[in-house]
């Protein structure tokens, strides 16, 4: 599912997610549990984050580095 994400930009743009916007809710990212780069079969790259959110859920979100789009992979 395509989503909007608020990010922190430090030494690079969109360095890490700070909030996820789902429907009419803003959910804060409390902790990043895992982070990796995934090479897709079509040659594109994604930065994948497993995060703990303010509502107590563990979410997996991916940032397509070519298209600059964010996706929610798990709820």
Q: What digits encode the pLDDT tens for the residues 5-54?
A: 999 998 888 899 999 998 889 999 999 999 999 998 898 999 999 999 99
Count of alpha carbons within 13 angstroms of residue 68, beta-carbon side? 4
Classify strands 2-8 and 16-22 as parallel, antiparallel or unpaired.
Answer: antiparallel
Structure confidence at residue 47 (pLDDT): 96
Task: Give this prediction's pTM.
Answer: 0.91
Structure confidence at residue 23 (pLDDT): 86
**Per-residue pLDDT band at 3 (split at 50, 70, 90):** very high
């Amino acid at each position: 599912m395509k989503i909007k994400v608020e990010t922190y930009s430090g030494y690079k743009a969109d360095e890490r997610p700070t909030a996820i916007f789902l429907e009419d809710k803003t959910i804060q990212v409390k902790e990043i549990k895992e982070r990796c780069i995934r090479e897709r079969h079509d040659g594109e790259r994604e930065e994948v984050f497993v995060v703990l959110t303010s509502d107590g859920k563990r979410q997996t979100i991916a940032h397509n580095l070519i298209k600059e789009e964010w996706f929610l992979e798990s709820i």
